[in-house]
Structure 1
């Protein structure tokens, strides 16, 4: 009889452990704790381009019901963590908490949230976008709830357009040049 009671207690403890671990907060063994991961190398993009700051949760985990916050570090502003680049909460983007410079320019891939993709897209890059960004998920009950991503905006990068020889509107790059690449004098 005592063995049966001990077995039932063991099953109940296992049951409640699973319920708590699979609930709204995340629980995993030390080796498999979910963590927010970003690239180790800076992301380099050209002025005016769109860029994706890659970030995800490992192992893959749905974060659709969690709060995802992106902010940009400003070493001259001690309140920078309260100034969001992007804030997602209660299954929607929260626009009124966003820095005005990022309104209408940032997007999360909401379909990817169910797989742990919390990457941020920034459109029409400005020089002021260069800096250090952090993605943070408070509901992850682990030490690694955030990742830092460095964005380097190249001000002198220009998108190169290659002339299309089959397009009659495309200028001939050799027009008016001799074989040495020097301008012909007429």
Structure 2
């Protein structure tokens, strides 16, 4: 009898020790407005009656989503995640406790705990969510005065980008840059400009968002007669129209790709 009790105790320890929760080791990168899928796998049981799943923010233990008594329990859910979270209920019996979070914003970035328990044991894992926002198509302005010509690009995205201006020979040029947060805190507003006295302009503007693997190159090439204000106006109008056509063509290309 004592031997049987000892063997049963060892069996229970072995069963509890075999329960694991598995989450990705690499951070999850999610683009602004998209749905995040926080993966979490656990050792399944034969029934869901003892299954308890809790998703929490690791830094402050806010409740993101809870499941027990075989249904979602959202009474203690943080208001920041109201109507934005869901589990794969059809996959719970297979050991899938992954969580979906809709409409990702900057405040959603951080570490999430997946805490799971059933009759076999309990375990937890942490998933790191990283936020990014694709930079919008840069908007070009060209401003002339009697001595200078200024090229300026404006765009929004996240995080702060790498920006450079280069001359026709590939040499790097210094720029005047302003970066500020937008009102919702989820984007940076970038204004980058280059001023020259040269009436013949051949420049390349480059913006990189390494986090989102985004890279934008825009070339500006034109010349004008400083002594002719009318010619200058025609040149500016021509350049702006060219940029508008390029941007419109790019947007139409993206729309065609989506329809496919």
Task: Identify the TM-score tier after normalising by the shorter chain.
Answer: 0.5 to 0.7
| Structure 1 position 89, deviation (Å) | 1.1
The equivalent residue for 1:135 is 114
C-alpha distance in 1 between matches for 2:83 and 2:45: 27
C-alpha distance in 1 between matches for 2:114 and 2:21: 8
Tell me which of 12, 17, 21 is aligned to 1:36: 21
Q: Are 1:64 and 2:48 matched, yes or no?
A: yes
Runs of 4+ deviating beyond 6 Å: none
Q: Which has the higher strand share?
A: 2
SS at match of 2:15: coil
- 1:156 and 1:164, CA in 2 relative to 1: closer, same or farther beyond 3 A? closer
- Alignment: residue pair count: 140
Give the structure, 1 or 2, with the largest relative contact order (CA under 8 Å, sep 6 or more): 1
Q: Are 1:156 and 2:134 matched, yes or no?
A: yes
| Structure 1 position 155, deviation (Å) | 2.5
Q: Are 1:51 and 2:36 matched, yes or no?
A: yes
Residues 25-44 of structure 1, C-alpha deviation per residue, up to 9 Å, x if partnerless? x95275xx110010000011
TM-score by structure 1 length? 0.64
- 1:36 and 1:108, CA in 2 relative to 1: closer, same or farther beyond 3 A? same
Residues 6-58 of structure 1, C-alpha deviation per residue, up to 9 Å, x if partnerless? 8xx87xx38x939x85xxxx95275xx11001000001110000111000014
CA contact (8 A) 1:62 1:115 kept: no
5+ long unaligned stretches in structure 2: 137-250
Tell me which of 104, 113, 125 is aligned to 2:92: 113
5+ long unaligned stretches in structure 1: 1-5, 75-79, 168-186
Residues 113-166 of structure 1, C-alpha deviation per residue, up to 9 Å, x if partnerless? 101100000011111110000000244665x700100000112367x872328x
C-alpha distance in 2 between matches for 1:149 and 1:157: 26
RMSD, aligned α-carbons = 3.1
CA contact (8 A) 1:134 1:146 kept: yes
TM-score by structure 2 length? 0.47
